[in-house]
Amino acid sequence: MTHIRPIEADELSTFIRTATEPENVDDVRQYVEDLISKGAMRREWCYLAERNGHPVGRAAFWTLPKRDQPVAIILLDLPWQRTSAFETGTVLLDTMFDTARSLGTKQLEYVLDTPVQQPQWQAHPESRRSLVEQCGFSQIRETVRFEFKAEEMEYPSSTDHELTYRSLEEIGENPFKDAIRRVSVGSLDQRIQEQRETVGPAEDAIAHFESLTSLVYDPSWWELAWTPDEELVGVIMPTRIPAGASIGYIGVVPELRGQQYVDALLTRGTRTILKTGADRIMADADTHNTPMIAAFERVQYDQFANRREYCIQIDEQMNRADPSIA
């Protein structure tokens, strides 16, 4: 029989070692300690799955650093090669759904990166995919993951566009919210389009802005760009994240797309966040967003992974999905 419980105060090391290959323990320990120190993870949000009194699996909640409710499940690890893995994983996830629901969370996410890589070392990706889908998660997005490593690449060069930039600290929140509303029109980002259709363009812009403010940033980093004729070009909003830095949000207004203004914005945001001491910048683009993928490549970003993003509405799903219809 499987028993699920949160770890005790002195069991963080047990949590880290459980279902982790010995050669990956140090990576996972550094990842966990970093997330806890930055408020993206908490000890009481770490769960062990036990069989016959022995830990065999684990998972934890993750959140944005300034939020009190779980946003996603991370470090989901089980004895994937054993026949009991799916039973154990199902009980583990059901327990975490109940806990997250009690904390006021309405939906949870899970991401699966390939190929297998630090810091989560998500081996057996097909088994993971089968489990989360069986337990009610639906794939909502597939992306190409990019990175810019400062020690391996030169600062991106400036572009030919002559633009004027004004920061959040100069012009305030409302112009940024309006810019997000404008640049999201016709976006090839699947999640942006779905949210625009669900809540409307204005509410979507507000939600994106507020989500980004829950990350670490400085108002001077976030900028809007204008042409010499004072025509809005777009927005760039880099952030710091537990894993380093990110191109949090970037977009060009529809009427100016196809002229590589996105290169100027991406270059600007990359240089801005590098000057803060970041040594790695990460970014994602939907697999079908070929213009954005091309822009990352032009500005010397390297593809390092593919990501599948999953989501489950736990406020609507009180019971686990029937595996026979998954």
Transcribe 143-212 into DSSP letters. EEEEEEETTTSPPPPP-S---EEEEHHHH-HHHHHHHHHHHTTT-S-HHHHHHHHHH-HHHHHHHHHHHH
Tell me, yes or no, whether 148 lies in a domain: no
Regarding whether 313 and 295 lie in a shared domain, the answer is no
**Same domain as 320, residue 260:** no
Handedness of CA 124, 139, 241, 93 (dihedral sign): negative
- Predicted confidence at residue 152, as pLDDT, reads 59
pLDDT of residue 317: 53
Residue with tokens 């959040």: 168
Looking up residue 276, the CATH number of its domain turns out to be 3.40.630.30
| Res 320: pLDDT | 40
Q: What's the pLDDT at 318?
A: 47
70 and 121, same domain (yes or no):
yes
The pLDDT, as a whole number, for residue 161 is 76
Q: Indicate whether 268 belongs to any domain.
A: yes
**Is residue 137 in a domain?**
yes
Residues 6+ apart with CB under 8 A from 20: 28, 77, 121
Specify the pTM.
Answer: 0.86
Q: How confident is the model at residue 324, as a pLDDT?
A: 27
Tokens of 53: 């009194």
Q: In the chain, count of helices (H) and strands (E)?
A: 10, 12
Same domain, 68 and 86: yes
146 Cβ neighbours under 8 A, 6+ residues apart? 282, 283, 284, 285, 296, 301, 302, 303, 304
- Give the span between the Cα atoms of 202 and 177, in whole angstroms: 8
Q: Is residue 271 part of a domain?
A: yes
Give me the amino acid identity at 215.
L
Strand ranges of the sheet holding 302-313, from the earlier edge strand across to the other edge: 2-6, 46-51, 54-62, 72-77, 107-114, 302-313, 138-149, 280-286, 244-252, 232-241, 223-226, 164-167
CB 227 within 8 A of CB 259: no
Same domain, yes or no: 219 and 116 = no
Domain count, the chain: 2
| Contact status, residue 4 vs residue 49, Cβ threshold 8 Å | yes
Closest to 48 (Cα-Cα) out of 91, 100, 80: 91
On whether both 117 and 89 belong to a single domain, the answer is yes
Nearest to 78 by CA among 55, 101, 100: 55
Q: Which residues pair with 46 in a beta bridge?
A: 60
One digit per residue, the tens of pLDDT, for the chain of length 326 reads: 899 999 999 999 999 999 999 999 999 999 999 999 988 999 999 999 999 899 999 999 999 877 889 999 999 999 999 999 999 999 999 999 999 999 999 999 999 999 999 999 999 999 999 999 999 999 999 999 999 998 755 655 556 678 999 999 999 999 999 999 999 999 999 889 988 999 999 999 999 999 999 889 999 999 999 999 999 999 999 999 877 899 999 999 999 999 999 999 999 999 999 999 999 999 999 999 999 999 999 999 999 999 999 999 998 654 443 322 22
Domain limits for position 186:
164-299
In three-state secondary structure terms, 58 is strand
**Amino acid 322: pLDDT:** 33
